[in-house]
Chains A and B, each alone.
Chain A
């Protein structure tokens, strides 16, 4: 960690690198899944599938923002993601018939081992910490 003081580290270096890997994997898997669902069976659960597509887009924006060192945009994307998973998670319990098929964020991401809930929390802590260091 001593080189951290010597030169400014890229946002995607260090622990940010692990975060980017997870974001890219989620962007790809949620994205491909959303495209497949929207094309093949959109009418069955339009809310779920639209939300999955939006989630995939936000994951992609967050990953690219961190890779390119755009701290503010990364913060915005991860913040929207946090709000999204909390809102959709709560809604999926309150109005279950909107979600006949699960989306990435329904039930707080239980279908994905709650990673969709943990990831933005970890991301926000990391981004705030890096901004304070800078």
Chain B
């Protein structure tokens, strides 16, 4: 993994989460600006995936399938949270999407761990 790209994804996920939790406190419904925020995070995650497809197969470790299964799951979580959260008519609609940012950060931590211990060895 490219370290600065990984850190950018982490920063974006946590920033999105913080922003959405503020909107949870303000009882906002899921709106267009939130979807743009999620899209921005998704673009970064897809760049991460593209870069990984380029560099991971050339590595020596045996954790490549594990690596990609975690990364793909990570990419799907905010999308699922958007669908699941946007149908809610309370503040917890955006709260749910906010939580997905924390989940992405946690999963990316695991992806990075797999990279260091089981892929890039």
Contact = CB atoms under 8 A, between A and B. Distances in A.
Given A22-B103, A113-B106, A17 B73 contact: no
Interface of A, secondary structure class, is helix
B119 interface: no
Contact of A25 (B77, B90, B95): B77
A24 B76 CA distance: 12
B81 interface: yes
Interface string B73-112: 1000100110011001111110110011001001100000
Interface string A30-73: 00100010000000000000000000000000000000000000
Contact of B73 (A3, A14, A20, A28): A28
B84 A15 contact: no
Interface residues of B, number: 21
Interface string A10-26: 00011111101110110
B83 to A, nearest CB: 11
Nearest to B98: A18
Nearest to A10: B88
Given A21-B84, A29-B73, A14 B90 contact: yes
A36 B62 CA distance: 14
Contact of B88 (A1, A13, A24, A25): A13
Nearest to B100: A21
Contact of B99 (A14, A22, A29, A36): A22
Contacts of B96: 17-18, 21
Interface of B: 66, 69, 73, 77, 80-81, 84-85, 88-93, 95-96, 99-100, 103, 106-107
5 contacts: A13-B90, A14-B91, A17-B95, A18-B95, A21-B85
Name the 7 nearest CB pairs between A and B, nearest first. Answer: A14-B90, A18-B96, A17-B96, A14-B92, A15-B92, A17-B88, A18-B99
Interface of A: 1, 3, 13-18, 20-22, 24-25, 28-29, 32, 36, 112-113
